[in-house]
Amino acid sequence: MPKKDLLEFQKKYRLDNSLYNFVIRPGVFESAVAVFFIIGIPSTFIIGERFATILSVVFSVLTYLVLKNEDKKFNKELDEYLKDD
């Protein structure tokens, strides 16, 4: 299979599924850490330390799970694309 077809598939998939860009660019774990700080720091000033920490941990875990699922979807689509050839 030519390399150009694989690059076209990745480009089309990334355009159709914009959430996957968070998996490609920073990575799954790095995105979850970023969400932890983005939610945790302002929430600490607004609602207090303990609840802000719990809130940021919950959202970072959800972010990790959603992005991990997106990565699995991409790998499944890629396997189907490669199997069709």
The predicted-structure confidence for 56-82, as pLDDT tens digits, reads as follows 999 999 999 999 999 999 999 989 888
* Identity of the highest mean pLDDT range in 2-11, 44-53, 62-71: 62-71
Mean pLDDT of 39-65: 90
Distance CA(57)–CA(73), nearest Å, equals: 24
Q: Cα angle vertex 15, ends 21, 7, to 5°?
A: 85
What percentage of the chain exceeds 70 in pLDDT? 93
Chain mean pLDDT for the chain: 87
Mean pLDDT of 18-28: 84
Task: Say whether 2 sits in a helix, a strand or coil.
Answer: coil
